[in-house]
Amino acid sequence: MELKVPPVIVFLCFGSIMYLLDLVLPIGYFDFFGRLMLAKFLVGIGMVIALLALIQFRLAKTTVDPTKPDKAQSLVISGVFKFSRNPMYLALLLILLALGIFLGNAFNTLVAAGFVAYMNRFQIIPEEQILLNKFGRSFKDYCILTRRWF
**What pLDDT shows up at residue 26?**
81
| Positive or negative torsion for Cα 135, 73, 143, 129 | negative
* Listed residue (145, 3, 5) closest to 84, CA to CA: 145
Lowest mean pLDDT among 22-26, 49-53, 94-98: 22-26
Length of the chain: 150
Helix/strand/coil for 29: strand
The predicted-structure confidence for 28-80, as pLDDT tens digits, reads as follows: 999 999 999 999 999 999 999 999 999 999 999 998 999 889 899 999 999 99
Local confidence band at 112 (pLDDT 50, 70, 90 cut-offs): very high
What residues contact 89, with CB distance under 8 A and at least 6 apart? 7, 119, 123, 124, 149
What residues contact 21, with CB distance under 8 A and at least 6 apart? 105, 107, 108, 111
Residue 87 carries which side chain, given as an amino acid letter? P
Any long-range contacts for 9-12 (C-beta under 8 Å, 24+ apart)?
10/115, 10/118, 10/119, 10/123, 11/92, 11/95, 11/96, 11/115
95 C-beta neighbours (distance < 10 Å), count? 22
pTM, 2 dp: 0.95
The predicted-structure confidence for 114-142, as pLDDT tens digits, reads as follows: 999 999 999 999 999 999 999 999 999 99
For residues 65 and 62, give the distance between their C-alpha atoms in angstroms, rounded to a whole number. Answer: 9
